Every structure is written in C-alpha cells, then in structure tokens.
C-alpha cells in the first residue's frame, strides 16, 4: 500500500464498490454520496490533479467512461460531471477523479 487512497482502491488493496474497470480506469461508488448516483471515475495511474495531466487523451477516456456509465446507470434525465482541482477547487483527494452525479435534480449554481 502507498498513502494514496485511490491508488490503493485501483490496486484492489483497499475495498470499494467497483462499478466498472478496465486496464486504465476504475470507477467506484463515493463513500459519502451527495446524490443517489455518485460514482468516482479514476485513472489507475497516479496523476495528482487535472492540473498535472500531460496526456489529455486520458481525460477524454475518463469523460467517455462517465458518459457510458451515465447511460448504464439509467441517468436518462441528465447528470453532472465534476472535476474539483486544487485546494480552492475543493479537491481533497490528490489523485485525479471525475465525479459522476445524478439521480436527482441538481441545483445550479452548486451551493
Ligand atoms: P474531492 O473533494 O473532489 O477530492 O472528492 C473526493 C471524494 O472522495 C469525496 O467525495 C469523498 O467522499 C470520496 N472518498 C474519499 N475516500 C473514499 C473511499 N475510500 N471510497 C470512496 N470514496 C471516497
Ligand atoms: Zn494515487
């Protein structure tokens, strides 16, 4: 185990409710959901934040995974994808992750 929670989930060393995975990506339920569907879509490779991405093909794959999961999870009325970045952006886990939120009417702007 290293000290990154999401690396440990990606490697299987830490348990999680995995809803999808392939060779590059793992997606699992957020432990503290803020909507009926709240999935985190995460690269298996450790990348600290959106700000530290070198290859934006990875971002495209993560976003595509969000769209595919939204369909698979029945979010036909709509959903939101959020990438908190840095301290002022609300990022608390320093491993890149996309929040896929849905299953209720999501207010805008967020609180
Ligand atoms: P952020 O604030 O954008 O960095 O989001 C981090 C998210 O990770 C929060 O929504 C947490 O509830 C979630 N989280 C933290 N630890 C775990 C865990 N072990 N399993 C699932 N989700 C987690
Ligand atoms: Zn990590």
pLDDT tens digit at each of 111 positions of the chain: 689 999 999 999 999 999 999 999 999 999 999 999 999 999 999 999 999 999 999 999 999 999 999 999 999 999 999 999 999 999 999 999 999 999 999 999 987
Centre of ligand 1 to C-alpha 82, Å, is: 13
Instruction: Tell whether pTM > 0.85.
Output: yes
Taking residue 45's Cβ as centre, other Cβ atoms within 10 Å add up to: 13
Q: Choose which residue among 8, 10, 17, 31 to substitute to test ligand 1 binding: the one with the highest number of ligand atoms within 8 A of its C-beta.
A: 31
Give pLDDT, residue 110.
86
Ligand 1: residue whose CA is nearest its atom 1:
91
Give pLDDT, residue 1.
64
3-state secondary structure of 70: helix
Q: Give the CA dihedral 56, 20, 15, 35, nearest 10 degrees.
A: 90
Centre of ligand 2 to C-alpha 51, Å, is: 15
């Amino acid at each position: 185990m290293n000290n990154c929670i999401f690396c440990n989930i990606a490697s299987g060393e830490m348990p999680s409710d995995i809803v999808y995975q392939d060779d590059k990506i793992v997606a699992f339920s957020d432990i503290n959901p803020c909507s009926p569907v709240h999935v985190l879509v995460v690269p298996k490779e450790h990348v600290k934040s959106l700000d530290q991405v070198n290859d934006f093909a990875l971002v495209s794959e993560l976003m595509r995974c969000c769209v595919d999961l939204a369909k698979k999870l029945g979010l036909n009325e709509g959903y939101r994808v959020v990438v908190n970045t840095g301290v002022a952006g609300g990022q608390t886990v320093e491993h890149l992750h996309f929040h896929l939120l849905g299953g209720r009417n999501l207010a805008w702007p967020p609180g």
